[in-house]
Structure 1
Amino acid sequence: MEAFSFATSTALTQLSVHVRIDRIEGNQKAIPYSVLLKRPDLRHRVSNINPHSELYVTAQIWADSKPLTVPVQTSYTTFKNARTWNEWLSLPITYANLPSSAQLAITVWDLSLAEDTESNLHAVPFGGTTVPLFDKDNTLQNGRQRCRLHRFKAADGLSSTTTPWVIPPARRSRNDNVKEDLIDEQILEMQRLEELLKKQEMGEIPENRWLDGLLFKKMMKIRSDALNAEAAANARLNKANMNGDSQEEELFYLDIELPRFDHAVVFTDVEYPPPPVSSFKVSSDSEIRLRPPPEVSFGPGINVDADGYGDAHAGRLIRIYDPETGRSDNPAESKHRRLMRSQQTDALDRDRKPDVDTRDKINKILTYGPLHGLNADERDIIWKFRYYLLRDKRALTKFVKSVGWNDPMEVRQAAPLLERWAEVEIDDALELLGRDFNHPIVRGYAVERLKKAEDDELLLYLLQLVQALKYEAAGEGDDSSLARFLISRATNSFLLGNYFHWYLMVEISDTSSDQAPEHRDLFAKVEYDFMIELEKTPLGKETRNTLKRQGELVTILAKISKDVRFDRGNRPQKIGRLKKLLSDPKNELTNFEPLPLPLDPSVTVVGIHPDDCNVLKSSLFPMIINFKTSNNTKYPIIFKTGDDLRQDQLVIQIITLMDRLLRKENLDLKLTPYRILATSTSAGAFQFIPSMSLAAAIAKHKGSLLAYLHANNPDDSAPLGVRKEAMDTYIKSCAGYCVITYLLGVGDRHLDNLLISPSGHFFHVDFGYILGRDPKPFAPPIKLSREMIDGMGGAQHPNYAQFKEYAFTAFTTLRKSSSLLLNLFALMQEANIPDIMIEREGSVRKVQERMWLDKTEEVAVRDFGALVEESVQSYTAVVIDRVHDFMQFLKK
């Protein structure tokens, strides 16, 4: 197909609808005396007195048999030889707001000395016409249009209009069954020339002023003859139909012009977000009462069956939006709550104690997770016993949810209590920074709690805190307490400042439609304020220069990566080109001044080893680059372009956090959360861990992962001939990653993205699918293949039982920190991460569902064990691995 350029109607938000009223052409005959005897009012009409009388035109937009705008009228014009206005009318509606059924109703008005009997006005319709603004292909009409005027009728604008602008040619049959077209050849010739003239005006036919002038005069003669011929044909038709009204023999056309655009304008409807789901819940089916469908009366001219209102025989489906739908509170109940709380005094509430039943209700409320909302009764209970709950740190978030922060009176009572409340945990402080808490007092309290966190702990949540700035902007504008806090801590710690700077730069570089412009401006302002604060510190200029040099290094590596990636040579040729570019003196990469590596600021690099680099076998051809460190060691990284690494960055950050949570419980599962950093929306780097994929290890050692472990860690005195430390590392890391990848819903697991290091560390890479998404159907929930179990010695070996014990312990440990993990994912709901963008609201609940928080610990462990056995025995996992191996073989 040829390229077709077009614009959407919704893009024309600033341009109102325009139409140019040009002229009227037609034949008007004298009124016979027989007609004047019946209609004496006709002798007083100015058009009958003077053939060039002073008429005026009104235009109005209609849609679905209803007017959309008020009529717009032409200015006063005196006619000499012809009724020509040549005037543009602007209608009070933009093209973006036009529905596809919009029609332009144009009426030419005559004046009469006698009042009209129907309207009691001196203006009577000379003729009317209705023009659809969009054609049958939903393309906006443009250019010159010739509209048929229906005499003595005002344009109605109805869906089934009685004043259409185009009347299809009529045919009649003679007695000898020979059909004769009533449109003369002159009329067909006139229509052909009109189309050619319209094409020339649209620029499709080149102009020639000398020939065009001669042709235009000839066209006027043909148009006049064609008009007379068409009028005569109508007269013959009326006579044949026994219609003796001479007024119907008159034929008039109105020439109008619609604006022309560079491209075709196609109708596009506005996609409004669905209305919120009502919070009203029906307790039982007995409360549902079936009612007869409402009786609906449609307006005149609306074609019910053709316009999508349903089949008349099947019943009409009427969708009505209730504005009360989705209200979180009943207005009457909200008013009652405010009245009740206004009557309660602090003096009375201070000494209030709950009884046994109320205390049980409060304890149940305090066990709710961060995603659980409170109903009106629960909020009233928390508010009523707020002083009793001051010493319970778990109750603070429930108390904040119970306060009406839009009510100044409640805010005055609630704000002082926040300072007196027992200090909350860090996960509760993170919850208070979510989008549901936009009051400055609440967010300020959460920031005060974060100030007590150490830098290493704050670094674990920095990615989410940067995203939380979006919610801060909605509540406090640019002067945000969270932004000031992050800038202050990043200024005093280069480690925090390094990652804070790069997290902001990635968000600033995100120019996609998914990133709101106001958010991009917010991140840019925070980065600007960060640089200003750095200038005020003693080492600020040096730090800014370091960050600038990091940016230059990343820019050069990104350019080299693109050159290698798009090089048409094979992989050895790409490797040669990479070495040449890295050693090019212009790039200054072999040796440079000491620079903290953006990926890991604790490592200072002084150059790159050009000869010790590689290009991986992948569609994006990522580069392996070895940096020279200040300690004369090598630090290998993988740098790639063409891929957004923010999703992988999030998963690795969560794995790092989970590793810390497990270590706090004295459970070191030997995880390998390698470092990863997205430097833009299409480039990034991650730490290279010397390892081998399970597929490669099995292929090298004749189908046995145990043979790989034995070859790298031989110990004939140990069970299975593998050094005990290496086997323990393998078992623990397998257990840890099985639990973590299940909780995060990591998909697309196969033996090529499961890696193992010579020391026995097992880990996952490539997190392109998370939160339950998987490109392969019927994939098992946990990736635990037969090859992985064989590396432990088989399903009957004690090592496999030890593996399950580690997995159960890790699962129960991470369930205890569910609030922290869920709050971190909640702060990422507005992030432009592919698998979160698919279902922003549901992304957090998918993690919650996999934690089974509604089950007891005993039941959860039992069900998780059954899930492990189900994954081991899954036949689809074997099929998926075989299909993947076959596809990889075809790519070679």
Structure 2
Amino acid sequence: MVSCETPYQKLNYVFSCHLLAQVQIKIGKLEGERKKPDYKEIIESPILNYSGAFQHLDLYVTAQIFANNQELCMPVKTSYKYIEKEPWIWDEWLTLPLRISDLPRNALLVITAWDIESPKSGDVPVCGSSISLFDRYGEFRQGSLEIRLWPNRVGDGNSKSTTPGLLSDQREFEIEEMIDSHQNSDEAANLGQANGLEEFPMLDELDRLAKLSKFYADGHMIKQEWLDNITLQKIENTIKNEKKNSKFFFMNVELAQIECDNVKYKVLYYEENAERIVQVIPNNDLFVVNDPELELDNIIESKNRKLEHTEQMVLFDMNLKPDTDSKNQLHKIINYPMTRPLKREEQTLLWNYRYYLTQNKKALSKFLQCFDLNLEFEGNTLMELMLKWQPMDIEDALELLGSKYKNYPKIRSYAISRLKNASNEDLILYLLQLVQALRYENFSSSNTSNIKSITTSGCSNSTAASAMPINISSNISSSSIKQPKSDDYGNNFAYSSSPPLASQTIIHNRNLLNQIEPLNTFELNLKSFLLERATKDEIVALCLYWFLKVEINDSKVLSSSASTINLFGQSSSLTNAHASSSSSNLAGTTNQYSNNLSARTNFQIFMDELLENLRDGDQTARSIYNSIINQEKFLKALNEIVKAVSREEGRMEKKLNKLISLLKNTEKSSFDLMNLDAPIPLIIDPSIKIYGIDCDKTKMFKSNLMPCKFVFKALPSKSFIDPEYSVIYKIGDDLRQDQLILQMIALMDKLLKQENLDLKLSPYKVIATGVKEGFLQFVDAVPVSNILNNSEYRSIREFLKKNNPSSTDKYGIKAEAMDNYVKSSAGYIVITYILGIGDRHYDNILITRCGKIVHIDFGYILGQDPKLFQPTIKWTKDFADGMGGIYGSDGKENKEYEDFKKYCCNAFLQLRRHANLILNLFSLMIDANIPGIALEPDKTVKKLIDKFKLDLSDEQAQYSLIKEIENNYGSLVGNITDVIHHYNTNRK
């Protein structure tokens, strides 16, 4: 402590760095009136009648210290005190957990008054303010202060606080000097208004009087008792009136006085060796943890994590190897389901052994959870590690195209670099989900590749004479989009300010399979990738076109102003059609394109670019373009005929005759459905070419929607040798859910065959050509209900015997037919169990004459069922009897039933190993308008995880599946449901 004497006064002071006392503040009186809610707000929220916003407030006050935009301590609050009427008086000392010696020069004391408005909204701020603990001269504030609190705000602890409470704060003088520096008074007034100063207390009479009162109280004025009394009374009345007319709250607080031997001391800010200290203002935020039991982020753990992720730890971690226990834990973490969040300890373990894990391609998707993707250093580190990492499998890379990484184009680019290794055959299996992934693409920042330059080699614009007549009501297209420069990619990644380090020597020292090209890894996007594949492969392009068209025309996705495609809405000439898609028709929408993207806009823009690239491309691309024209013409003609027949009144026979008549009459029209001018790709399966419809084999089914069966005349090919291809065309039914499930069945069938497990599945083709229309491949099979009710069979085994007789094989049935029945039964039981297919009955389970089981009608998925308490697996006595029953005459299990259980277990285990692929595909469909998913989108992936039993070992999973099959065998509820369903069907 130091005393400094002058001829006029003596100054006692102490340096702040020597004071170990904690900061203390006394919360005194709060004055002010909170605005009451109006009648409209009360009507909308009746609970306001009983909240603090309407009745008398029971408030509490919190105090906290900030500096450099960060919290320095946890908030301290007043204890509960019942206050009968305003003003609120606490007279309570609060001790903050921070010493005066630890306070920085720019420390702010933030005070907020809180009220509990309703159970839903919880604590809401009534008013808040912030004051500097050191004045502009570096003196620590002591004694009584009256501060202004801003209504309905939390006290702002940022350096440029929006809730300043004192005139003497240095930043407020800076604002005032800024205003005074403007010569134009109007400009100064506008600046003041922009900073919220038009009603700020520092500019009114109240602040001047408060300053004079404090000056008088500190003994810096000559006292005249008679005059002082009159003046103080006048000041008191003026202050009272000013407070009454102000919109602010006012609080009396008192900061503890520093005394020693009854001598008061001033506290001056001083920091020893400050000239040697370089102040660094971190950008990290501290998180408020009000209660550890709430499982919120712990500020100590967050700080520890940031220290672990610093550059200084890189050299140490590069050579770190896990021990046995750590290896087992890492293996467990890597095999977690995709939806399971990692704990802090698990993230730390992955981070510590990140260089070791670069050899494990399955670990990268989990490792991405260890990063704060908004920090520049961690973003650059991630880019380096992704280039060194063993390349991910394609099925794992699909996860990176979901909504989780929609704001990180470089991570999505890495996923595309892995997809480039997929064959077109595999790509078609994922194409439905890749179209959905387009909704998460940011087209405005994507480096749109000029596919036209690839496909137009050796051709000119004159080749566009076969241009497709297009009428696009939207004025958004790729031709009006500003092409970003190649170096713009550095700004597309939210946490990267420099290109990834692609020239690290460590990359060349690793023998990575299918190593990716570092220079192109982060410069790819989904749109360009799909366009490139579509312009080179007809099957990819046609599937892509129909998937896109359905999404564009979905009424639940499009708004009233959304753009739609009408390929044949106008009979314009080819020249006009070509002109309609020129740049003049598509200009002037760059701002709207970049600022107002949505899912429907993405689909529409992609469709425009796809058609443009096909039309103006090379010979292959133009051939694909013509195929789309012919498919649309074919579908339009067929659709008009079916709709005309549906409007016809009369019996089914009359309608069928009308249908055949209309098909034959197309010979006279411009588009002959019976005999096409040239073969066209079949919409449902573009690998097959058709050249007409066999009208005599056309059929209509008895149903409210009256689906029609058409037999197409097909050209023989390597993949299809039959001369006919039968389909069912339905109008009025959304087939997208069936399309998704059949895609999954086809995918699972391929995965099982890759493991040499052919379960004789029959995944027929389905494609939706509109929101309420589409094609299904016709399967020549008999419903189980017809077999059981037919007096010729009466049982499945008898049906197999009649169609596949054998005098040498067991049960008098050919061994191949019995093998088909046992394997297909096992395959469909496992698949329908995993996908949660509901509403299984004997009418939608079919059997082919060669013994293969076929499931149809997938209106209920993921555990949904129109009937209560239904079994999860459709396995009844009738199905078991088809393979000879469960037990033989000797009381032991039949060989066929043992084989059935073996196939079930093997299939289940193999599909569990590919669970991540199936989960990723379903996660990409969450935002699609598919009824079974849209009902509970957030639970879609979890339901699949539960069915895969990923938390169990293989042995436990097998046991669980067999137990499920045995428990559902002969289910009483299932049998009763079958009887009721059969009765209702016969009544109809």
Whether the TM-score (by the shorter chain) exceeds 0.5 is yes
The answer to whether the aligner puts 1:573 opposite 2:654 as a matched pair is: yes
Taking the aligned partners of 2:540 and 2:419, their CA distance within structure 1 comes to 14
2:878 matched residue in structure 1 = 787
Task: Give the SS at the match of 1:685.
Answer: strand
Encode CA deviations 1:573-619: one digit per residue, 9 max, x unaligned: 22112112211223521111210111111111111111210011222
The answer to whether the aligner puts 1:852 opposite 2:820 as a matched pair is: no
The answer to whether the aligner puts 1:451 opposite 2:420 as a matched pair is: yes
Taking the aligned partners of 2:738 and 2:956, their CA distance within structure 1 comes to 32
Task: Give the SS at the match of 1:755.
Answer: strand
Task: Give the SS at the match of 1:344.
Answer: helix
2:732 matched residue in structure 1 = 642
Alignment of 1:421-570 (within 5 A): 421-438=389-406, 439-473=408-442, 476=445, 479=448, 481-513=525-557, 518-534=598-614, 535-570=616-651
1:101 matched residue in structure 2 = 43
1:875 matched residue in structure 2 = 972
Task: Give the SS at the match of 1:66.
Answer: coil
Question: Which deviates more from structure 2 when the two are superposed, residues 552-561 or residues 772-781?
Answer: 552-561
2:356 matched residue in structure 1 = 388
- Which runs of 5 or more structure 1 residues have no equivalent in the other structure? 1-62, 69-97, 104-131, 133-157, 161-291, 301-314
Shift in Å, 1:708: 1.2
Alignment of 1:594-609 (within 5 A): 594-609=679-694
Taking the aligned partners of 1:638 and 1:504, their CA distance within structure 2 comes to 22
1:66 maps to which of 5, 13, 37: 37
2:939 matched residue in structure 1 = 842
Contact 1:65 1:299 in 2 (8 A): no
Percent of paired sites with the same residue: 37
Aligned pair in 2 of structure 1 residues 351, 785: CA closer, same or farther (>3 Å)?
same
Name the amino acid aligned to 1:873. G
TM-score (norm 1): 0.64
Task: Give the SS at the match of 1:717.
Answer: coil
Encode CA deviations 1:722-744: one digit per residue, 9 max, x unaligned: 11111110111011001100100
Name the amino acid aligned to 2:611. M
Contact 2:440 2:599 in 1 (8 A): no
Alignment of 1:325-344 (within 5 A): 329=297, 333-334=301-302, 336-344=304-312
Taking the aligned partners of 2:698 and 2:378, their CA distance within structure 1 comes to 64
Encode CA deviations 1:14-60: one digit per residue, 9 max, x unaligned: xxxxxxxxxxxxxxxxxxxxxxxxxxxxxxxxxxxxxxxxxxxxxxx
2:983 matched residue in structure 1 = 886
Taking the aligned partners of 2:296 and 2:923, their CA distance within structure 1 comes to 20
1:588 maps to which of 672, 690, 697: 672
Taking the aligned partners of 2:117 and 2:422, their CA distance within structure 1 comes to 62
2:347 matched residue in structure 1 = 379
RMSD over aligned Cα atoms: 3.2
Aligned pair in 2 of structure 1 residues 717, 447: CA closer, same or farther (>3 Å)?
same
Taking the aligned partners of 1:322 and 1:459, their CA distance within structure 2 comes to 53
Name the amino acid aligned to 1:601. P
Taking the aligned partners of 1:746 and 1:64, their CA distance within structure 2 comes to 56
The answer to whether the aligner puts 1:352 opposite 2:323 as a matched pair is: no
Aligned pair in 2 of structure 1 residues 316, 410: CA closer, same or farther (>3 Å)?
closer
Aligned pair in 2 of structure 1 residues 332, 713: CA closer, same or farther (>3 Å)?
same
1:683 maps to which of 769, 773, 778: 773
Contact 2:443 2:602 in 1 (8 A): no
Contact 2:826 2:901 in 1 (8 A): yes
2:712 matched residue in structure 1 = 627
Contact 1:638 1:685 in 2 (8 A): yes
Shift in Å, 1:334: 4.0
2:185 matched residue in structure 1 = none
Question: Which deviates more from structure 2 when the two are superposed, residues 514-523 or residues 347-356?
Answer: 514-523
Taking the aligned partners of 2:610 and 2:357, their CA distance within structure 1 comes to 39
Task: Give the SS at the match of 1:539.
Answer: helix
Shift in Å, 1:829: 0.9
The answer to whether the aligner puts 1:715 opposite 2:806 as a matched pair is: yes
Name the amino acid aligned to 1:657. L
1:184 matched residue in structure 2 = none
Task: Give the SS at the match of 2:695.
Answer: strand
Aligned pair in 2 of structure 1 residues 511, 333: CA closer, same or farther (>3 Å)?
farther
Contact 1:746 1:771 in 2 (8 A): yes
Alignment of 1:684-833 (within 5 A): 684-700=774-790, 701-796=792-887, 797-833=894-930
Taking the aligned partners of 1:693 and 1:299, their CA distance within structure 2 comes to 80
Name the amino acid aligned to 1:491. T
2:695 matched residue in structure 1 = 610
- Which runs of 5 or more structure 2 residues have no equivalent in the other structure? 1-33, 47-52, 56-78, 88-115, 125-287, 449-523, 563-597, 717-721, 888-893
Contact 1:625 1:636 in 2 (8 A): yes
Name the amino acid aligned to 2:683. P
Name the amino acid aligned to 1:855. L
1:319 maps to which of 120, 128, 137: 120
1:674 matched residue in structure 2 = 764
Name the amino acid aligned to 1:697. I
Contact 1:652 1:673 in 2 (8 A): yes
Contact 1:698 1:704 in 2 (8 A): yes
1:129 matched residue in structure 2 = none
1:277 matched residue in structure 2 = none
Aligned pair in 2 of structure 1 residues 568, 481: CA closer, same or farther (>3 Å)?
same
Contact 2:536 2:621 in 1 (8 A): no
1:46 matched residue in structure 2 = none
Task: Give the SS at the match of 2:687.
Answer: coil
Question: Which deviates more from structure 2 when the two are superposed, residues 316-325 or residues 439-448?
Answer: 316-325
Taking the aligned partners of 1:652 and 1:575, their CA distance within structure 2 comes to 29
Taking the aligned partners of 2:633 and 2:914, their CA distance within structure 1 comes to 40
Taking the aligned partners of 2:867 and 2:602, their CA distance within structure 1 comes to 39
Aligned pair in 2 of structure 1 residues 805, 403: CA closer, same or farther (>3 Å)?
same
- In the comparison of the two structures, how many residue pairs are matched? 604
Shift in Å, 1:342: 2.5
Taking the aligned partners of 2:663 and 2:838, their CA distance within structure 1 comes to 36
Task: Give the SS at the match of 1:492.
Answer: coil
Contact 1:561 1:640 in 2 (8 A): no
Encode CA deviations 1:792-832: one digit per residue, 9 max, x unaligned: 12222432222111111111111111111111111111111
Contact 1:670 1:733 in 2 (8 A): yes
Taking the aligned partners of 1:665 and 1:515, their CA distance within structure 2 comes to 46
Taking the aligned partners of 1:296 and 1:659, their CA distance within structure 2 comes to 73
Taking the aligned partners of 1:742 and 1:298, their CA distance within structure 2 comes to 65
Taking the aligned partners of 2:694 and 2:608, their CA distance within structure 1 comes to 35
Contact 1:698 1:708 in 2 (8 A): no
Encode CA deviations 1:624-649: one digit per residue, 9 max, x unaligned: 00111234811110000101100000
Encode CA deviations 1:552-580: one digit per residue, 9 max, x unaligned: 22222223233333433221122112112
Taking the aligned partners of 1:550 and 1:297, their CA distance within structure 2 comes to 80
Shift in Å, 1:770: 0.3
